[in-house]
Amino acid sequence: MPSASQWRHYPQTYRYEAARCRECGTVHFPPRLVCRQCGTREFETFNLKRTGKVLSHTVIRTPGDAYTGQAPFAVGVVEMDDGVRLTAQIADISFDELKIGMPVRLEFRRMFAEGEGGVLHYGFKAVPVR
């Protein structure tokens, strides 16, 4: 059974939902209660674009327990086309092909299995746009 913290993150993890400030238009991902630009508490929910570009990347060779068996894998900072920056695993590309500025799109995929019961966790991964 998913933890309470997972349930709270479902809108961002499963629907790519962000919050846009109704006062100044600043986009917050994940959503927050108070706008970091103007201090208002009025937001509208919208879905992020699923395309962007790689700003930075690295290769993880010694992962945390949940990702044991998946190493090595690439992780990067991706700037989405609507300006939001996020950290995501980069999949479906060899490390020597991975480049700064490379166009990517987010895909919903399995991330890892948890515990003895093998509870599956899903999230977004960045894959190259070809």
For 1-22, the pLDDT digits (tens) are: 455 555 455 555 556 889 999 9
pLDDT at 35: 97
Q: Name all contacts of 38-47 with Cβ < 8 Å and 24+ positions apart.
A: 43/19, 44/19, 44/20, 45/11, 45/17, 45/18, 45/19, 45/20, 46/17, 46/18, 46/19, 46/20, 47/15, 47/16, 47/17, 47/18
In the predicted model, residues of the chain with pLDDT beneath 70 are 1-15
pLDDT at 119: 79
Instruction: Give CA 67 to chain center in angstroms.
Output: 16
pLDDT at 109: 87
Q: In one letter, which amino acid is 3?
A: S
Q: In one letter, which amino acid is 2?
A: P
pLDDT at 126: 96
